[in-house]
Every structure is written in structure tokens, then in C-alpha cells.
Amino acid sequence: MSKSEGFTRDEARALLAGGAPDAADWDVVSRLLLDRFSCRAFLPQPVPRQTLEEIFAAAQFSPSWCNAQGWQLIVTQGAATERLREALFAKAGEASAGSQPDIPFPAAYEGVFGQRRREAGVALYESAGITRQNKTGAVALMRENYRLFGAPHAAILTVEADLGTYGVLDCGIYLGNLLQLLQSRGIASIAQGALPRFAPLLRDHFDIPANRRIVCGISFGYADPASPLNQFRTTRARTDAAVHWCDS
């Protein structure tokens, strides 16, 4: 299997540099997109509450269908993060632990989607020094999701069930903006599809109403620069793999 064609971040930086003459906003937004990565090792110190309140206030201006703003976040800090970490990791260690997400996980990753997924996984394991034969190491790394990768904060993103697919789409827009806003303040993050695997646990833990669906988790804080897990970067598909021009 050949490696899929894609942009490295350095290639994208070279392509985008100076893309909009005298446009400071372009430089800021494109730099944030290229610099952000999914952090998998955090330092323990929390982010100041005032900083987070400013970030969440800005994220609230994300666009949504009919301005419904169906997203809600539960954000943990201090002892609340530790309680969540302990509950999730204990659940993940149960032999009978299954997957009970509110929103079904992808049915399959076929073709190029599967290839991209595998390449990202191989790069992650290699950064941690885990070989393909080391199944125990791979499982242990996967279970770090449920330790929140040591982050001092976690967030659970939920949406009103009646808003359906478009409510989830609105949450995706909000999530993307939130991750970039965190990055703009030097705060690392990782969006976690693994956490809704235990939706019933999260619902009980936080008393989440039945009319809300759990979309994803987010762990965030300050990145540990010494961790090898924070050194690898994924690539992105070339533009023509996603954008198709129609001229007539």
C-alpha cells in the first residue's frame, strides 16, 4: 500500500505564506490552523478561569442553523477533572466495557479514509516507540484517552436531541472554532470521540438530561513539550481531493 498523497504542514505554510497581501487576519487564522495539533500529553497546571471564560464567550458567536446555538459544554477543573478521569479509566478497564455512544460511530473507514486513519495511527505509535507487534503498548496508549492524557481540564459537548443532524453539524462548527480559540491563547487541546463511547457513564456522572445527546469530549490545558507524543504531525489531503471546481 502506497502512502497517500498529502500536504505536510511545512508545505502548507510555504503555500499559504503571503496569500493575502497586507491581511493580518489571514496570517493569524492560517497560522492557527497549521500550528494546532491534537495534544496527547499535558502539563498539570490549570488554565486561568478568566482566560477560559473569554474563550468560551468568543466561541459562542459561532454560526448555527437558525441561530439555534444548540451546543452546551460541561467543563471540569481541579477535583472535578480528577473524578472524571478516575471514573472513565476504571470503566475502560472493565472486561465487559462496550460502546454505547448516543450518536453512532462511523460504520466503516473504507478506501482512502481508512488509509489516512491507518497512517495517522502508525505515526502516533511510532512517536511513542510502539511497534506493530506491541499490542499491549497500543492498548495502553489507547486507554490514555480515558486518563484525559493528563489534562487539567475536560469538556463534554452535548446537543439538544430534537435538533438532529443539523444540531450536531452546528456543534462541529462550534468545536472547530473553540479549538482554534484555545490555540490562540497557547492552550493545547484534543477532541475525543472516545469519551462518548461511555455515554451512559457520562450521563450519570454529570446528570445530563435525556433530551441531550453527547457529541464528544475535549481535553485541554498546556502541552508538555518534552513528550514524544506531541512531536508527530498528521498530513492533510491535497486541495483537489476535497474541492471540485465547476465552471459551467
Residue 212: strand pairing partners: 160
Task: Identify the pLDDT of residue 18.
Answer: 64
Query: Which CATH number is 168's domain given?
Result: 3.40.109.10
Structural domain contains residue 130:
no
Range of 24-28, 79-83, 121-125, 234-238 with top mean pLDDT: 79-83
Structural domain contains residue 120:
no
Task: Identify the pLDDT of residue 10.
Answer: 82
- Nearest by Cα to 13 from 246, 235, 169, 217: 235
Instruction: Quote the percentage of the chain above a pLDDT of 70.
Output: 96
Structure confidence by residue, pLDDT tens digits, 33-87? 999 999 999 999 999 999 999 999 999 999 999 999 999 999 999 999 999 999 9
Structural domain contains residue 172:
yes
Structure confidence by residue, pLDDT tens digits, 199-243? 999 999 999 999 999 999 999 999 999 999 999 999 999 999 999
- Nearest by Cα to 161 from 102, 73, 235, 86: 102
Decide if pLDDT at 160 tops 80: yes
Structural domain contains residue 182:
yes
Structural domain contains residue 8:
no
Beta strands in 85-244 (DSSP E): 153-160, 188-192, 212-221
Average pLDDT over residues 192-196: 97
- CB-count exposure of residue 48 (10 Å: 0-12, 13-18, 19+): exposed
Decide if pLDDT at 190 tops 60: yes
Would strands 71-76 and 188-192 be described as parallel, antiparallel, or unpaired?
A: unpaired
Decide if pLDDT at 23 tops 70: yes
**What is the residue range of 167's domain?**
42-105+146-227
* pTM of this structure: 0.91
Task: Identify the pLDDT of residue 21.
Answer: 65
Structurally, the chain folds into a number of domains equal to: 1
Structural domain contains residue 170:
yes
Compare 13 and 220 and report the one with higher pLDDT: 220
Structural domain contains residue 53:
yes
Structural domain contains residue 20:
no
Structure confidence by residue, pLDDT tens digits, 95-113? 788 899 999 999 999 999 9
Cβ pair 56, 168 in contact under 8 A: no
Q: What is the mean pLDDT of the chain?
A: 93
